[in-house]
Structures are given as structure tokens and as C-alpha cells.
Structure 1
């Protein structure tokens, strides 16, 4: 490892010398960007995950996005979604943003002055007040107004400081007071004094006692800082900056290309339509609507991806700028602390970046297949052509993201300090601290549904869908590349929503649809209807086509597939059939409106009045469980781990049951905008739950899991 570090440092030194001119050119550009607005950070507030935002941006984010009716006392970081808690959970939500500490490193490099060039008092700015400074404390490196100068002189600790008129200080000195927060983020009032080399962790004495007692490579922060080398970090951050720029530039180019394709296609279609305008005006409008929807969907996708990568680029630039400031103006200890903090927040950011953009395409090529006999059969045509979109993630963006992940891994596995000969165990350093046993922990890739909570992320109202009657969604299925296709029982429609649950359009049905599921072939769907029929469809390129249907002797409600079999719930039984609708078994049950859900492990679940029954593939009962307090059990769904989610229409709650029935919990005792939940769906890849209403103003709500 030491040989690797030395080689890496030499390589970085060579690159640093080549780029020294560029570094000097930007040394005076000391502004930091807010990771929400991507503008210069105004009154910067730092969250516990080390990400920094404008106070105003953070306040708007908290109030508009995460003020919910369930009285949560935290909110997720806008960038990495780490849970963030205000200083006092009982404070009004409007004060949460201001309760987080100012990022003094950001604030000190972005000094504020009046229009005439006078400097504002640093102490007053801490309380978001702008008062002109008249004095400068050399020891504190702070500008002071007259009242703050008096308070400064009266302080026993500060009275000996050398204070001069601010006119005697150069603007360069005023711009560069640097403050490093060395307080422990876990333990109030404790400072960072120790570094654990086993976990690459900054610790206070309590951290060592509680979390690192069995670690063997623990050093004081001063000793570690003396061996600290910034060369490797600067080199890797430089590489990461280049890769992030590549991704952003690629997204910008692809967005321009997509817009160009859109403009060209719009123009070309208009030219063809013009030849038979009187007869094709209606077709042109229909085509243009479809093109606009497709274009905006992929444009929005690229905008979201571009913003995510811009935020990451801004974070990297902030970190680079931070390194330059700290390196030039601070002793080794503060430099080391800032470096380790930056590494921590970068790791969280990259993980979030990979989750949000790693599999998101950024290349969308719009093509048009024109009908070559358009002019010959103009009176017979029902469409101008078929709009096709081929999407992919460009190789350069994929390579850059992979490279960034590798750089982060290098930063985590490569020590930023030189080797040391003497190892100190935490037990040696804390002989006088009582023994505390704390289990080791690791960062889980997904939220534990048994300890996490549900957070409302979206409500869809009937006004956004339209129609003469309030929708009643009784089922739905997720279709890859399209979104959510839901059954609107009341209006005899199938409603299509994109991956962000925005309404796209609808498909008219002959009868009221009840439930829908994936079929046995690609692009195949099977649906139950109120007329006791089972309909088989194909859904391809936004078009739905009936391929088969059969009438049932009983009214069918819920439907799902398990292997080669089809499961349907009727008023009095659960029917098991083959893929061609031939009955295999009929299982009697109690209650009405039966819904079913199948698990990949060969089990399926159904309701029996207000009891959930688990059965094997052949219909044999495995176990049954009663959800405490649930009334009129309706919807039922499963997540990727086989856990069962059900909702009570009359009790208005959501319950969670383990796949083996050994445990259960009430996830939501009350749903935000829905009083009578009917259907429940689980997103196939995200930890999100969709709950529909029994014909209310809120058609459905989307919840996602988060830490308590």
C-alpha cells in the first residue's frame, strides 16, 4: 500500500505542476455554490452530513417538500437523503433551517460588503444582521462593528487581542478569515481529538469509548495530522472534477441534440401534413400531442439527470476550493479534519449519485417512421406514422460515473497519512473510561421496513386527471419504460402515469376494469372486469390491443400470476388456472372483493374476510394472520423481500406482515389525504408504496420508506 501511495503522490505532483497555471488563475474565485440553487451560497448552513445550502433555499425546501401532517421531527438531506434533525424538535418548522450551524469556511471566503465597498461585521453576519464594520481583530481575523468591538474588549478571553482600524487592513486579509469546526457531530460539547485508522473516522473521546473501543489503530489528532499528506486527496479530487465536467457536458450536449431532433421532426411532420391539411389537421394535432408528451418526458428525464450531475460537480468544485483555502491558511490539524469531513460527504454524495443516475439513460434519439404511401392513401390513413424513441446511456457518461466511483473507493481505501510504526489501541487511550459494549454497524443499501417509517412524497388529485366522474382506482401494474397503468373502475378507463406519477393519458374500456397484472408473455397484460370477464391484452409502444377474453362463472376481482398459473379472487373463492384459462383448483373462502398477490418464492396470499392467508403454489394453506384492528381488508401487495402490505378500507390504515407471518406492524394508522384506502401497490425497484382511495378528491398517494 505504501508503494502505491508513493507512486500515486508522484503522479499527482506531476499533474499538479502541469496545472499550476490554471490553479493560480482560479485562486481568487472563492465563492461556494449552494447545492440546491447552484448559485453562490448565501448565509450557508451545514447539515450533519456536511452538505451546505443557502439558508433561504434550505428553508424553502423544508417547508415545501417535507412539512408533513404526521409530525415528523426530521427531514432528508436534499442531496444524499441522510436524516437531518433540527436543534430542537419542538421548534416551529419555519425555524429549522436557521437552527443548523453556519458553515464558517463557506461564509468566511464569501465576505459581504456594502455597495461603497465597506465591510460588514462578521459577528453580526452570524446572526444574519448586516452592520458596517469599523475595526479588525488580528487574532480572530474578524471584522467588528462598534458594539461588537465593545463586547470584544469586555471579554476576559478576548481583551488582549490586537484590534486595529479596518482601514489599516488590506481587502485580501478581510476576505480570508478561515474557521474550521472541530466539534464532534455526535456528542454535543465534545471536540475532535482522536483519529481511528481502522475506520478512517474522526472521533471525540466519547466516540472512542462507545464506538471504537476495540479498535487497535487509534492516534491523537495531532499526531495523525503531522503525518497527513494532502497530495493524494488533491490529485483524486482533480480527477473527479474532470469526470464530473465530462458528465455534465455530455448531458448538455444530449439535451441540445434532443431539442434539435424535436425541432426537426416537428418541422418535417408539419411539411407532410401541409400537403393534405384539410383532411389531416386532426391527425397532426394528435401526432403533435404524442410528440410533445414523449419529448417532455425525456426532456424532463435529462433535466433531472443534468441537475443531479451539476449538483455533484458543484460539490466537487466546492471541495476543491475548500482544500485550497485550508491548505494555504490553516495548520495541519484543521486541514486534516476538513479533508476527512469532505471525504465522508463525498462518499455519501457519490452513492446517492449512482443510485439516481447510474442506470438513467441520457441519450434519447427521436426517429420517425413515415408511411411511404401517405399521399396515395391519404383518405384511408389514421396516423401519420409511429414515433419511436431509442434511449441509452452514453459510453462516456457511463465511463465517467464508473471512474468517479473508483476514485471514491480509492479515497476510502487509501490512507491519507503516512505509515506509522506504533499502533495505539482505543482501550489504551481510555483506561479510565468504563467498559461500553457497542455492536458494530454498517451502512445498509436499503431502508429496513421494520424500523423505518413511511413518508408522503406525492398526492395525485382528481383535478390533474380530468373526467366527469371522480376516479376510483381499484388496481394497477408497473410497466417498464412506461410507468404505472391503473384501472379506473368508475370511469371505465385505464389511466397511464409516468415514472414520476404524472398523468399522461387514458384508454377507454368497454366495461369497468377491476384489477390488472403482467401476463405470461412479453408485453402481455391480463385484466378482470365487472362483467365477470378476463381480458388478455398486449401493451406495446403506448398502444393496447385485446388478444383474448373469457367469461367466468363468478365475478373476478383481484388477479396475479404465479409461475405458469393464474390466480383470481372471486366473491367466494380463489381460483387457480393455467395460462390458457383452464381451471386447476378452487379454494373456498369467506368475504367479498378478494384480492391476491403472488411471491417469487412460490407462495401466494389472499384475504379471507379480515384475515390474510398464505398458501403454497398448489393451494395448501401455510399460515394465516389477523391484522390487529383492520376492517374491510381490500388491497394486498408484496415487496422485493416477500413482505406483505395490506390496507383496511373502513379502518383507513396500512399494515405490514412478514413473509412467514411471524411479525407484523401498522405502517400508517392514518393516511394523509385518504380516508378509505382501497388498492395498494409496491414499486418494483424503489421502496415506494402507492395507496388509492375509494373515490375521493385525492385519487392516490405515494409513500416511501425513510429512517425513523
Structure 2
């Protein structure tokens, strides 16, 4: 466990820009911390690009607005808050390091062995500076301990004091319960004179750490992190699906236009351009959402590391301060997920090719490129948790064979499910030769009306085990223990069929029950025929 914690500390005490130990650690609103000099250099480069009012965090790309439109990059970097938690961890590392050098003397191009540490200054002292520290009236009463004592006493390592960010040199030693904020004595005298309840920072931190708030925050951070991982995984799946559709539709487009004469080659070029344009539009949206949540995941990882380091090595005061700040960011993560839910869109590319008797005259209007934007099955829970279910498939047949006559007759199967699901598509056998294309119409209905109807051209070369997937334009919600009918009308003469069918099929937590449908005009039944199964999603 100690090794794991140390590895987290190394991560958050290393500057992501220079990859060295942080020097004057300054943090952005997203909580990512950098050397003051490194972030100032980064700001300067952004200013040169004309980005004077806003920059992006170098790690998570969160937008950061300047606190003053007239600030230079140097003034902005100086104005950033110092990360006292990181500063304390760096001091602890220096104390425990085999080479304990005195920082101030190093800055003066001198090196002296560090012997003492001042808790009030959060600084290491050599013997000479220790004597001066005790001799100066302002620092004479500072708490100073030998370094050897610190390396063996973990409680002392948590004793570095937090400084007030508003009043230089003042310790954060009080806590206003009314405003729920830590403060120094000057803050209390100026801003909290009328507040009814002001505690010592130690008492407030002690009460705070007796609660389950740290554990609750860790749990909620983990949930949000899991949600973001699910969204990233779903977006990658959507990208893979989109690219597969793009390749498939582009191949169909090429096959159609390869049969046309050179006089209509310009039409082919225009259609390819349209396809690429809408593909890039969809790809850009998916990439943007994926990148957005990938960057948000970096925030979560950073905040988890901060929480780990804080809980293991920081003082109770630091734990309280950091947890409160992290909770604010947690709420921001939740709101971000909720606000971006409507921007998460699935795309369906389609290529429509009608029978064309006079190709040269009608090619322009007969071949169309289009795309549908569909919402994935997204459930936003009140806590802000987001769950995306995976698309599953079920197959009721154990074997398949050929010579199943269709000739435009409808194959149908009656079925019901054990729980509410989203039906995303239907499975179909392909033509007998396994390579031909043929037209079909697939539909799902209850006893009274059609719930979805889709026409498509299936290609035997795209089949897996002689079965192709027919996706619905939009998922259809099915109720539990209610009878539905799936119907296929195929134009080809003969197709493959299934045998040794199961009346009951359990798939990913859903039980499908099959029986003969009154809409069947062929010989499909629970044990043989067409319609091997379905594509579906669970409702979470």
C-alpha cells in the first residue's frame, strides 16, 4: 500500500510541462498543478498566438479565463494560487530524501546540509540558518524540529501549516462554520466579525474527518470515473461502427458507380464528397465528445491522486480543505455529464440505390447519401450517474442449412421478453449462394400496429455464419411479458434457414420465448425457419 501511495505522490508532484519536480507549484481551476515558471512560459506562448483572455489547461484542455484582461503572462502566473498541499508533499519528500539540501542556500548558489525544518515557514534549515531563525524576533517562536525526528514520525510530516492566500504570512488557523470556509485571524476580523460560529481549524477539521465525507467523495469520484469510462468506451464503439458503415457504404457506392459510363463519373465524385463530408461531421462530433470526456477523466484521475495523497500524508486541515475543493469539482463533473448528454449522438449512414431503368437520365437523383442521428440508450440517474448499455445479440438456432424458399412470402415469429428492453435490430439469414445481395423488409409489431419497419439490401459477403444484422433507425422499447411479432419479407428465391431452434433463449439477463406467429406465410416456427434472433440493449 505504501508503494502505491508514493507513486501517486510522485505523479502529482511532477510538473506535466517540464517533467521535473514542481518548483513553486501553482494550480489552475481544474486543479492541475504546474511550476510557476512553466505555466508562465506556456501562457506566453498562448499570448503570442493571440489567446490573451483565455488559455487551455495543458493536461485536460479545460478553458481558463484570465482574472484581469490587462494581465501579462507573468502577472497571471504569479496571481495563480499556490498549491499548499503539493508544497507540503514536496517538503516531505525533501525531508525524507537521502540528499537533504537547504533550499534557500541553493538559491544563493550555496549548498548546506539541512538539519532542521520550520513548520511555520514550511522550509528546511541548515545549522547556521537555524541560529538566525531563532535570533530574529519575527521567527523566534516558530516551531522547529530536527529532520531526523521527522523521518521517523509520520504525524510530524503532516504538521506543515497552511498559509492564508489573501493575507501574506498569516496561518490558516480558524474555520467559519457559517460560511463553511477556513480563514486566518485577519480574515475573521475583517469578514467574519458577525458570524456566530467560528472554530479553531483543528477542531473543525477533527469534526469533519469523523464524518464519512472523504469516503463518500471517493465513492462518488469512482462512480463518475466509471461513467466517463463507459461513455468513452461507447463513443469508441460508435466510432468503430461508423467507420464500418462508412467502409460498407463506400463499397456499395463504388460498386454502383463502377457500372456507369464515364459520362457520369462527375456524379460519382460528388456523391463521394457528400459521403465524406457527413462522415467527417459525425466523426468530428464523436471525437469531440470522446476527447471531452477523456480530458474529464484526466481531471478525475488527478483529483483521485490528490485525495489519495491528502488522505495518506496531509494534515486533517489539508484533508478538509482539499475534500471541499474536490467536492466542488465533483459537482462540476456531474453537471458536465448532464449538460453534455444531449450532445452524445449515434449516426447511421445510409446509401439508397433504387432500380434504375434509365441510369444516365436518373443517376443524379437515384443515388443518395444520407445519415440519421440517433440518441444512444442513455440513462441519467438523479445522482448524475450515467449508464450506457451494450448492444447484445441472441440466436435461437443451433444449426443452419440452405433451401429455404421465400419468393416474397413473409416469415414471422411471435416472441416475448422477460424484462423491458430496447430492441435495436433483427437478424436475418442471407441468400442461398452466400454472396448475392437481395432486398428485404423487416418489421416488428404487436397485435395491432407496426412498431418499426425498415427496408434494406443485405449482402451475403458481409454475413457471419450466414447471418446479417439489420439495425433499426431507432431502438424500439419492448415491454415485459407481452407478445410481439417479428416479420421478414425477402425478395430472393431461396435463402439459408435455421434448425434445432430453442423455444426459450436466455441472453445477457433477458429471456426470449418464441412461438409460431399468426403473420407467418411460410414455415417459420419456434424450431425452424428465418429470423434467427435480435439485437437488443438492456435498460439499466
Q: TM-score, normalised by structure 2?
A: 0.53
Larger Rg: 2
Preserved contact between residue 108 and residue 179 of structure 1 (Cα < 8 Å)? no
Counterpart in 2 of 1:302? 290
- Whether the 8 Å CA contact 1:183–1:191 is kept in 2: the answer is yes
- Aligned residue in 2 for 1:388: 372
Q: Does 1:51 align with 2:39?
A: no
SS at match of 1:202: strand
Asked whether 1:155 is paired with 2:137, we answer no
Q: Equivalent residue for 2:451?
A: none
The alpha-carbon deviation at position 33 of structure 1 amounts to 4.0
Q: In the alignment, does 2:306 pair up with 1:318?
A: yes
SS for the counterpart of 2:5 is coil
Cα deviation digits, residues 331-380 of structure 1 (max 9, x gap): xxxx1x32332244234424543554422136432212231426767543
CA distance in structure 1 between the aligned counterparts of 2:66 and 2:43, rounded to whole angstroms: 12
What residue number does 2:381 align with? 399
Tell me how large the CA RMSD over aligned residues is.
4.9
* Residue of structure 1 aligned with 2:319, choices 325, 336, 339: 339
Sort the Cα spacing of 1:125 and 1:272 in 2 relative to 1 into closer, same or farther, 3 A.
Answer: farther
Are the aligned partners of 1:192 and 1:203 in contact in 2 as well (CA < 8 Å)? yes
C-alpha change, 1:162 and 1:237, in structure 2 (3 Å) is closer
Counterpart selection for 2:186 from 190, 200, 206: 206
**CA–CA separation in structure 1 for the residues paired with 2:93 and 2:208:** 36
Bigger relative contact order, structure 1 or 2, given CA contacts below 8 A and separation 6+? 2
Q: Is the 8 A contact 1:33 1:314 kept in 2?
A: yes
- Which residue, 267, 279, 303 being the options, matches 1:291? 279
Contact 2:164 2:171 in 1 (8 A): yes
Separation in 1 of the partners of 2:106 and 2:86? 12
3-state secondary structure, aligned to 2:363:
coil
Q: Which has a greater percent of helix?
A: 2
Q: 1:80–1:349: 8 Å Cα contact kept in structure 2?
A: no
Question: In the aligned structure 2, how far is the partner of 1:193 from the partner of 1:111?
Answer: 20
Which residue pairs with 1:448 in the alignment? none
1:536 alignment counterpart: none
Contiguous gaps of at least 5 residues in structure 1: 1-22, 405-708
Tell me which residue corresponds to 2:354. Answer: 373
| Cα distance, 1:225 vs structure 2 | 4.1
Note if 1:97 corresponds to 2:85: no
| Partners of 1:139 and 1:162 within 8 A in 2 | yes
Structure-to-structure mapping, 1:555-704, within 5 angstroms: none
Instruction: Tell me the CA shift for residue 243 of structure 1.
Output: 1.2
**Cα distance in 2 for residues equivalent to 1:130 and 1:243:** 49
Deviations 1:427-459 (A, max 9, x none): xxxxxxxxxxxxxxxxxxxxxxxxxxxxxxxxx
The residue correspondences of 1:525-564 to structure 2 (distance < 5 A) are none
Question: SS state of the match for residue 195, structure 2?
Answer: coil
1:118 to 1:211, Cα distance in 2 relative to 1, 3 A? closer
Secondary structure of 1:359's match?
helix
List per-residue Cα deviations over 1:295-320 (Å, max 9, x = no partner): 11331233123313431342233123
CA gap of 1:370–1:37, structure 2 versus 1, over 3 A, is: farther
* Structure 2 residue aligned with 1:512: none
Measure the CA separation in 2 of the matches of 1:184 and 1:358: 35
Which of 208, 214, 222 in structure 2 is aligned with 1:242? 222
Question: How far off is 1:25 after superposition?
Answer: 6.7
Paired with 1:122 and 1:375, the residues of 2 have a C-alpha distance of: 85
Aligned to 1:218: 198
Q: Does 1:26 align with 2:26?
A: no
Q: How many Å separate the matches in 2 of 1:325 and 1:401?
A: 30
CA contact (8 A) 2:345 2:373 kept: yes
Shift of 1:399: 3.4
* 3-state DSSP of counterpart to 1:387: strand
1:184 and 2:168 are equivalent in the alignment: no
User: Could you give the per-residue CA deviations for residues 260-296 of structure 1, whole angstroms, max 9, x where no partner exists?
Assistant: 0232022202321331236434422331233123311
CA contact (8 A) 1:193 1:203 kept: yes
CA distance in 1, matches of 2:93, 2:204: 39
1:386 is displaced (CA, Å) by 0.7
1:626-659 residue CA offsets vs partner (Å, 9 max, x unmatched):
xxxxxxxxxxxxxxxxxxxxxxxxxxxxxxxxxx
- Number of residue pairs aligned between Structure 1 and Structure 2: 359
**Equivalent position of 1:463 in the other structure:** none
Return the offset for 1:71: 8.8
1:410-430 C-alpha deviation (Å, 9 max, x unpaired): xxxxxxxxxxxxxxxxxxxxx
**1:364 aligned to 2:345?**
yes
Q: Do the aligned residues in 2 keep the contact of 1:193 with 1:221 (CA within 8 Å)?
A: yes
Shift, 1:58, TM fit: 2.9
Cα deviation per residue 1:487-520 (whole Å; 9 max; x = unaligned)?
Answer: xxxxxxxxxxxxxxxxxxxxxxxxxxxxxxxxxx
Change (3 A) 1:384 1:49: closer
Shift in CA distance, 244/26, structure 1 to aligned 2, threshold 3 Å: farther
Q: 2:134 aligns to what SS in structure 1?
A: coil
- For the structure 1 residues 391 and 399, does the alpha-carbon distance in structure 2 shift closer, same or farther, using more than 3 Å as the test? same
Is 2:116 aligned against 1:137? yes
| Shift of residue 220, structure 1, vs aligned partner | 2.8
Tell me if the contact between 2:56 and 2:64 (Cα under 8 Å) persists in the aligned partners: yes
- Aligned partners of 1:359, 1:255: CA distance in 2, in Å? 17
Match of 2:532 in 1: none
- State the 1:163 CA deviation: 5.8
Give the Cα separation in 2 of the matches to 1:315 and 1:365: 30
Whether contact under 8 Å (1:193, 1:204) holds in the other structure is yes
Closer/same/farther in 2, CA of residues 352 and 238 from structure 1, 3 Å limit: closer
1:259 aligns with 2:259: no
Structure 2 unpaired stretches of 5+: 387-540
CA distance in 1 between counterparts of 2:106 and 2:332 reads 31
Q: Quote the offset at 1:135 in angstroms.
A: 4.1
